[in-house]
Amino acid sequence: MLHLAAAHDWPVHQLDVKNAFLHGDLTEQVYCQQPAGFVDPKHPDAVCLLRKSLYGLKQAPRAWFQRFATHLQHLGFISSKSDSSLFVLHRGSDVAHLLLYVDDIILAASSPQFLQRIVDQLRQEFAMKDLGPVPSSI
């Protein structure tokens, strides 16, 4: 992807999704003990049914990836058949490529305006830390 971006002189941007695993929706029933300080005195042995993923759950990485991939598809991205972490978006003459590694994103687009529009759309759904442009010397 970096070779493609460099060959076309596309801007490349880095982002980090904050608390990524907390965005995942669980598809199976997972229970946990009541958190310390929040134990119901009337039902001290009751457990909590989780609807959202938590860090440390074995389901967390997959739940997060599914949540993010579904949102990208909603935005019009298509998942690559050769690499499950690569997503491609075509809008008229504009093109964008997004690579996801756990909670880190590399985004390349055919114009700075298109890139910024995608970043803004992602920020509407997820809290993100903007790590800025990828240095051109890489």
For 20, list phi and psi in degrees, rounded to 5: -55, -45
Tell me what pLDDT residue 137 has. 55
As given in the structure block, the two tokens for residue 99 are: 């690579």
Percent share of the chain, pLDDT over 70: 98
Mean pLDDT score of the chain, rounded to an integer?
Answer: 89
Indicate the length of the chain as a whole number. Answer: 138
- How far apart CA 54 and CA 135 sit, in angstroms, is 33
The pLDDT tens digits for 14-40 are 999 998 877 777 777 888 888 888 888
Domains of the chain: 2-20+59-132 (3.30.310.200)
Whether pTM exceeds 0.85: no
Q: Tokens in use for 38?
A: 């929040």
pLDDT digits (tens, 9 = 90+) for 39-69: 888 998 888 888 877 777 777 888 889 999 9
Predicted confidence at residue 136, as pLDDT, reads 67
Two tokens, residue 85: 């972490």
Say which residue, 86 or 35, is predicted with more confidence: 86
Asked whether the beta carbons of 97 and 1 are under 8 A apart, the reply is yes
pLDDT of residue 103: 87
